């Protein structure tokens, strides 16, 4: 990620900050709103989802509070370049399976 921003390096604290903001946005997403972009080859309970424009806009709004305008634009370009056809910015979706015992209905 350091070398994706107009040839300049993004400092580690900026990378950590932007990753934290991505995590915040992801926790606010309804799983059913994500478009599945692929499936794990090793775990049938794992799929990958794409962040939609709404989620990217929410991320950019959060970034605007923490970063300078040039950094926000760099983050947007990074997101646009890596959110489709890539696992770099894919959202990992894990299916949760629960087996319950039937209750006595009498």
Would residue 36 count as lying in a domain?
yes
What pLDDT is recorded for position 30? 87
In the block, tokens 């910015």 appear at 89
DSSP codes of every residue in the chain: -TT-BTTBPPPHHHHHHHHHHHHHHHHTS-GGGSEEEEE-SS-TTEEEEE--HHHHHHHHHHHHHHS-HHHHHHHHHHHHHHSSS-SSSPEEEE------PPPP--
What pLDDT is recorded for position 5? 53
The domain total for the chain is: 1
Would residue 101 count as lying in a domain?
no
Q: Using the predicted structure, report yes or no on whether residue 64 has a pLDDT greater than 90.
A: yes
CB 60 within 8 Å of CB 3: no
Would residue 65 count as lying in a domain?
yes
Would residue 32 count as lying in a domain?
yes
Would residue 106 count as lying in a domain?
no
Would residue 45 count as lying in a domain?
yes
Q: What is the extent of the structural domain holding 54?
A: 12-94
Would residue 2 count as lying in a domain?
no
What pLDDT is recorded for position 97? 83
Would residue 100 count as lying in a domain?
no
Share of the chain above pLDDT 70, in %: 86
Using one digit for the tens of pLDDT, what is the confidence trace for 72-104?
998 898 888 887 766 688 888 998 888 888 887
């Amino acid at each position: 990620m350091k070398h994706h921003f107009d040839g300049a390096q993004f400092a580690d604290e900026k990378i950590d900050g932007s990753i934290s903001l991505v995590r915040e946005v992801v926790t606010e997403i309804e799983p059913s709103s994500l478009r599945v972009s692929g499936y794990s080859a090793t775990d049938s309970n794992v799929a990958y989802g794409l962040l939609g424009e709404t989620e990217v806009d929410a991320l950019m709004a959060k970034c605007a509070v923490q970063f300078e305008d040039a950094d926000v634009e760099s983050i947007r370009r990074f997101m646009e370049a890596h959110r489709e056809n890539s696992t770099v910015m894919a959202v990992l979706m894990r299916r949760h399976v629960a087996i319950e015992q039937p209750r006595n209905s009498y």
